[in-house]
Structure 1
Amino acid sequence: MTVKSRISTCLWFDDDGEAAANFYVSLFPCSRIVSVTRYGDGALMPKGTAMLTRFELDGASLAALNGGPHFKLTEAASLVALCDTQAEIDRLWSALTANGGAPSRCGWLKDRFGLSWQIIPSMLDEAMADPARAARVMSAVMQMSKIDLAAIEHAAKG
């Protein structure tokens, strides 16, 4: 039996939540816009502007709220994309840092909408499980902006 989660993440945007959601679903397989609720007459935003865009990213349920300039996205919350290959890391990194996005350190970046992401290899938890390997892996990761999967694998092997 498939159980649908009743927990979802809501991301606050000034006025470009629908554009952000459409961009994000274009990047990940098994992703889609679920629904868009629009503002009506006399609302916070002009009539017809998206108020809440519900979407799924590779099975994760999220919502993008256009709520105006009252709250800003920060690095205190980020989306984590687990990648199996360097090609997948490279593709997501390029797309998410394009058009005003900004790279950070250790696989972190901020996209053009201001949302923070961690683009990391799916094998990272396993590589960090052994304390002896963890120190080497962490040392390698701390030198990186975009993750270099081969360098992490090399550090894990010692």
Structure 2
Amino acid sequence: MASLQRINPCLWYDNQAEEAARFYVSVFRDSSLGAVSYYSAEGHDIHGRPAGSVMTVEFVLEGQSFLALNGGPQFTFTEAISLMINCHSQEEIDYYWDALTANGGQPSECGWLKDRFGVSWQVAPVQLDELLRDPDRRKADRVMHAMLQMQKIDLAEIMRAAEGA
């Protein structure tokens, strides 16, 4: 990786770290794969992974560094943490939603989804946060009500709700 970030998310997979990293790099622009490390016979009694199998994969998504780890099945992803994608248009929302729910991903509510690896994502327009913080509480409440009815966010519908339509 180009530079070491102070905070670097590590995503724990059973054995799909390289597949997941390659997938994410294919979805996001300005993204790249980095170094791959492999398990050796050393510590096999602790890690239980075959020597020569992928241990970690470094990757960067739009300037954010990540580490994918093949750590085994003992830990899985939950919705308690998610990765948020700030989108500027419905086209971006549609693109990321479709790419991340493809091949086994699962839509959820209010712009949330799980990709096929179980990682939770929020695909949201940048306008949503601003509208939800609007000092006009009736406007913010209309936007909240509209959002709560959605799976994938419909930006036009959010804007209609903001306008009172």
TM-score tier after normalising by the smaller chain length: over 0.9
Aligned residues: 156
Structure-2 separation of matches of 1:104 and 1:23: 20
1:138 aligns with 2:149: no
How big is the shift at 1:106?
0.4
Match of 2:9 in 1: 9
Match of 1:127 in 2: 131
> After TM superposition, where is structure 1 displaced by more than 2 Å over at least 4 residues in a row?
41-44
Match of 1:47 in 2: 51
TM-score (norm 1): 0.93
Alignment equivalent of 2:103, drawn from 99, 103, 118:
99
The secondary structure found in structure 2 opposite 1:99 is: helix
RMSD of aligned C-alpha atoms?
1.4
Structure-2 separation of matches of 1:14 and 1:4: 25
Structure-2 separation of matches of 1:91 and 1:122: 15
1:16-95 equivalences in 2 (<5 Å):
16-42=16-42, 43=44, 44-95=48-99
Deviations 1:10-61 (A, max 9, x none): 1110000111011011111111112111112253322222111111111111
Structure-2 separation of matches of 1:4 and 1:63: 12
How big is the shift at 1:69?
0.6
Q: Gapped runs of 5+ residues in structure 1? A: none
TM-score (norm 2): 0.89
Larger proportion of helix: 2
Letter in 2 for 1:71: F
How big is the shift at 1:123?
1.4
Structure-2 separation of matches of 1:65 and 1:105: 28
Q: Gapped runs of 5+ residues in structure 2? A: none
Structure-1 separation of matches of 2:89 and 2:17: 29
The secondary structure found in structure 2 opposite 1:37 is: strand
